Amino acid sequence: MKPFFIYNTLSRTVEEFVPLKPGVVTLYSCGPTVYLPQHLGNMRTYLCTDTLKRALRLNGYQVRHVMNITDVGHMTSDQDAGEDKIEKTARAEGRSPREVADYYTQLFIRDLEMLRIERPTVPPGQFCRATDHIADMIALIQRILDRGYAYVVGSGVYFDVEKWRGPGAKGRLSRQSLEEQYSEQRLEHASDKRSKHDFALWVLNQPHHLMQWDSPWGRGYPGWHIECSAMSMKYLGETLDIHTGGLDHIPIHHENEIAQSESATGRPFVRYFVHYAFLVGMEGAKISKSSGKFPVLTDLIAAGIDPMAFRLFCLGAKYRSELAFSLDAVRAAQTNFEYFTEFARSMPPDACSAPDSGWTQSYFNRFIDSLNNDLNTPQALAVTLELIGESYRRKDRCVWSTLTKMDSVLGLGMEEIRRQAASQTLPTEIEALRAERDQARQKKDFRRSDELRRELQARGYEVKDTPSGTVLQPRR
């Protein structure tokens, strides 16, 4: 294996990644709160994790990946204030919280599939729903209480943040004091809490809350932060190799996860925190549900854009860099996707089965080096495009093995595209028109070539000119 380097928010440096167990990576991703469709900013986050997972696998690692579904306990404020997000939608839509969570979970899974984002591997192909792990949360809260870092009052079980941190200590991720972390927040808190900074592990005495469970401290429901700690440690162990999420998770959610997890176990919780920058609008504002403007994947499809164009658009920027969203920018990425698909559709079957030419190895080496340098996907994507261009220039199509290994990380589904194209049998008269058009192009009879293009289009085919000839695709 070549060394793999990634930026660790804990150290604020790019570090060589070394897992606890040789050859195996434990990876936990903060998943969605399923009360609305996931906007494109959310989907960029999940794409980044998918690319990280694929890159680690290409480097020879087995990746044990867990992602949660938050279907209870996430308040409208990350500081445990306001109404439960699921219940707020349930009341507004006249449905039960379970119906809301199931509906928006299915929309999330649909969007993952359209973007070719792989499902978690632990449990195999499944997402961990918070409501399925209440007993695990209760057990973890009891461990925190037993070690003296939580207390029970009438309104709930709270984590004693100041006792955990000590006087004046700063957060390990945010590098801020408690006052600095919360300086922009208007904290609403229960009057019986010891400190406004303490966060809820279990909420009590909320009779109007629709989802509640029995616990040793009374009937109630979990706080948001405890969910991730309980589920990640249940499936991956008490110390994780990598924990991912958006930059907005750093000051509150992930700081709280560290505190509650390490107070319970006495062990380091996470060795590498990997955080992703935001997708922003052209005016520089973060695209989010709270801003009232959150384009979703189906908006792109309605605009005639393939979901793979959004995937390529995201790969075109580093995960730690803000990415400015616009339809024009995604349409430009669609042009690149069409370049990939044309190459895949025009691959001769014998070239796919033949060994790759020797010159492709240097491109693959550069591709790996790009990924291993802090997941530099723009550079890796550029190398892949160069490989295709060089294949055209040399008129040498013996590149398929190398290209499919690259695509195992890019995730564009090029082998599937190639197989679909190979399985399509064109009618005899259409095949004859294509062959005639290729001859006209070779003779530089552009007038006849244009006439044949129009005829093929009139018969329902998209016509693409590639260096290897005319590629036809039936219109959808």
Every domain of the chain and the residues it spans: 5-151+159-179+224-276, 301-423, 428-474
Report pLDDT for 248. Answer: 93
How many other C-beta atoms lie within 10 A of the C-beta of residue 18? 11
218 or 167, higher pLDDT: 218
Q: What is the rounded average pLDDT of the residues 102-117?
A: 96
Range among 141-150, 282-291, 339-348 with highest mean pLDDT value: 141-150
5-151+159-179+224-276 has CATH 3.40.50.620 classification = yes
Strands (E), 429-475: 461-466, 469-474
- The burial class, CB within 10 Å (0-12 / 13-18 / 19+), for 125 is exposed
Q: What is the rounded average pLDDT of the residues 109-135?
A: 96
| DSSP H or E stretch at residue 323 | strand 323-324
Judge whether 118 and 231 are in contact, CB under 8 Å: no
Rg (CA), the chain: 26
Q: Tell me the C-alpha distance between 225 and 201, whole Å.
A: 7
The string of DSSP codes covering 199-233 is EEEEEE--TT-S--B--TT-SEEE-HHHHHHHHHH
pTM for this prediction? 0.88
For the record, the structure tokens of 420 come out as 């679909």
How many other C-beta atoms lie within 10 A of the C-beta of residue 11? 10
Q: Give the range among 231-235, 394-398, 418-422 with minimum mean pLDDT.
A: 418-422
Q: Which residues contact 223 (CB under 8 A, 6 or more apart)?
A: 73, 80, 156, 199, 200, 201, 202, 203
- The burial class, CB within 10 Å (0-12 / 13-18 / 19+), for 237 is middle
pLDDT, one tens digit per residue, over 385-412 is: 999 999 999 999 999 999 999 999 999 9
pLDDT, one tens digit per residue, over 9-52 is: 999 999 999 999 999 999 999 999 999 999 999 999 999 999 99
Judge whether 204 and 151 are in contact, CB under 8 Å: no
In angstroms, what CA-CA distances link 39 with 148, 295, 362?
40, 6, 38
Helix pair angle (255-265, 134-146), 10° resolution: 70
Q: What is the rounded average pLDDT of the residues 162-188?
A: 76
Q: Give the range among 84-88, 395-399, 441-445, 468-472 with minimum mean pLDDT.
A: 468-472
What is the overall mean pLDDT for the chain? 91
Judge whether 269 and 255 are in contact, CB under 8 Å: no
Judge whether 330 and 300 are in contact, CB under 8 Å: yes
pLDDT, one tens digit per residue, over 292-341 is: 567 899 999 988 999 999 999 999 999 999 999 999 999 999 999 999 99
Q: Tell me the C-alpha distance between 412 and 54, whole Å.
A: 12
pLDDT at 461 over 90: no
Report pLDDT for 83. Answer: 80
